[in-house]
Amino acid sequence: MRLTRTLLPVMKESPADAQIISHKLMLRAGLVRQTAAGIYAWLPLGLRVLRNIERIVREEQDRAGAIELLMPTLQSADLWRESGRYDAYGPEMLRIRDRHEREMLFGPTNEEMVTAIFRDAARSYRDLPRILYHIQWKFRDEVRPRFGVMRGREFLMKDAYSFDMDEAGARHSYNRMFVAYLNTFARMGLRAIPMQADTGPIGGDLSHEFIVLAETGESEVFYHANWERPAALRHVDFDDVAGLRSIVSGYTADYAATDEKRDAAREAGAGDALRQSRGVEVGHIFYFGTKYSSAMGLKVQAKDGSEVVPQMGSYGIGVSRLVGAIIEASHDDAGIVWPDAVAPYAVGLVNMRADDAACATAADDLYARLRTAGVETLYDDRDERGGAKFATMDLIGLPWQMVVGPKGLAKGVVELKRRATGERHELAVDDAVARIAQA
């Protein structure tokens, strides 16, 4: 993409109303624009990041055996009356009336809807187990929307729901999602620590929050120092019940955010390895048994002909919140440092001297070659000084910068800079293209 043809409203100064670094950088780098309190438009660059995150989440859900569908954002109040949550939910729910005075709502979550869909589709044990998920916008009328997309009112969530014949099956579904989450966040370059959590208003008895460490996070967390090691992707067989159980039990050390639990963690041997920090919740998983299936009359026939009320769980990931969380975890004084897997473009091509015909020709040629090689490239072809272009590139944080200037051209080389480390190398044009195409 040529920078002169896209919409990239970068800002030099931090907007006054942004308190945390990710919010400041998202506004400065032209990723989003607030259109109402806690509601954001995703500008072209931000949308590319959001889509990359969504793709990783989807691939890992699919790998774990979950099945994608798409449920609507608007739901009927009657559906929520079936579970008893319509009156219980409180002012976070945005309630709407249609022209026929029918009560509707903008979905804050989808337990009711997915239970109703499954109830109408599933007949017997042959239809289970299933994990259904979608990636859809939610609305929660948060008292204090803040920190940009981290606590928005409208936000994108992946929510999955599991249906099993018995508790052992439900625990296996829970473990599938647990391990899928470890892999999902690791692919984004994040260390997300699973913390045993309270089950809250959704209810149930088994729950973990996945927390990304960040000074500005809203939750206080205690964790084992081992978590500071880079996260590794696991190659797992998701159908292996015992294998998954042992992976999950290896992670259930309970270093959560209460004094009581901290003391327990000390006793459990974390000792000097105990660390305290703040963190951002990027995912939350629950096992809640038959709470919704019993309330909503979901029953299926077992092998022996008896009726069984399926066991359920729900599994959320804050897709739009992750954009902010990744920036909290990966930035420096100059701007964002995107992990390769979620970067909006792989490389930023900079023509240092827009007024130099030879440089412009060489940069145009490089742009064509990168595109032919299948490299996602943002080409800064603006009529601007080199310094301003470098500042923009550092701010928007593409993993590689390729710089074309008159001195290098005379030697037949371009400069390749790795954003994360600042390392620079001069490479022959062909080598530079090949190097990035391989990365």
Binding site for Mg ion (CB under 5 A): 284
The interface partner of residue 157, options being Mg ion, ligand ATP, none and the CB cut-off 5 to 8 Å by kind, is: ligand ATP
Pairing of strands 400-404, 347-351: parallel
| Interface with ligand ATP in residues 130-149 (CB under 6 A) | 140, 142
Nearer to ligand ATP, 186 or 346 (CB): 186
Contact predicate 104/93, CB 8 Å: no
DSSP conformation letters of 100-131: T--EEEE-S--HHHHHHHHHHH--BGGG-SEE
Nearer to Mg ion, 219 or 301 (CB): 219
Nearer to ligand ATP, 279 or 408 (CB): 279
The interface partner of residue 283, options being Mg ion, ligand ATP, none and the CB cut-off 5 to 8 Å by kind, is: ligand ATP
Nearer to ligand ATP, 286 or 345 (CB): 286
Contact predicate 306/4, CB 8 Å: no
Closest Cα to residue 401, out of 358, 368, 363, 361? 363
The interface partner of residue 321, options being ligand ATP, Mg ion, none and the CB cut-off 5 to 8 Å by kind, is: ligand ATP
Nearer to ligand ATP, 39 or 388 (CB): 39
In whole angstroms, how close is the CB of 261 to ligand ATP at the nearest point? Answer: 17
The interface partner of residue 140, options being Mg ion, ligand ATP, none and the CB cut-off 5 to 8 Å by kind, is: ligand ATP
In whole angstroms, how close is the CB of 241 to ligand ATP at the nearest point? Answer: 26
Q: Using the Cα atoms of residue 123, residue 126, residue 129 and residue 132 in order, give the sign of their dihedral.
A: negative
Nearer to Mg ion, 14 or 199 (CB): 199
The interface partner of residue 129, options being Mg ion, ligand ATP, none and the CB cut-off 5 to 8 Å by kind, is: none
The 319-358 site mask, x for binding ligand ATP (CB under 6 A), equals -xx-------------------------------------
Give the position of tokens 């079936």: 82
Contact flag: residue 152 with ligand ATP (CB under 6 A): yes
**Token reading at 297:** 């009359």
Contact predicate 150/30, CB 8 Å: no
The interface partner of residue 401, options being Mg ion, ligand ATP, none and the CB cut-off 5 to 8 Å by kind, is: none
Q: Where are the beta strands (DSSP E) in 330-423?
A: 331-332, 335-336, 347-351, 377-380, 400-404, 413-418
* Nearest 10 degrees: Cα torsion 68, 206, 287, 133: -10
On the CB side of 103, CA atoms within 13 Å amount to: 10
Contact pick of 42, 106, 133, 155 for ligand ATP (by CB under 6 A)? 155
Nearer to ligand ATP, 176 or 321 (CB): 321
| Interface with ligand ATP in residues 266-325 (CB under 6 A) | 281-284, 316, 318, 320-321
In whole angstroms, how close is the CB of 181 to Mg ion at the nearest point? Answer: 13
- Cα separation, 283 vs 278, in Å, equals 15
**Token reading at 113:** 């809807």
Nearer to Mg ion, 284 or 389 (CB): 284
Binding residue count for ligand ATP, defined by CB under 6 A:
15
In whole angstroms, how close is the CB of 184 to ligand ATP at the nearest point? Answer: 12
Contacts of 36 (CB under 8 A, 6+ apart): none
Residue 101, by phi and psi: left (phi above 0), alpha (psi -120 to 50) or beta? left
Contact flag: residue 85 with ligand ATP (CB under 6 A): no
Pairing of strands 377-380, 347-351: parallel
Closest Cα to residue 141, out of 96, 105, 92? 92
**Token reading at 429:** 């044009």
Rg (CA), the chain: 24
* Residues near ligand ATP, by CB under 6 A: 109, 140, 142, 151-152, 155, 157, 281-284, 316, 318, 320-321
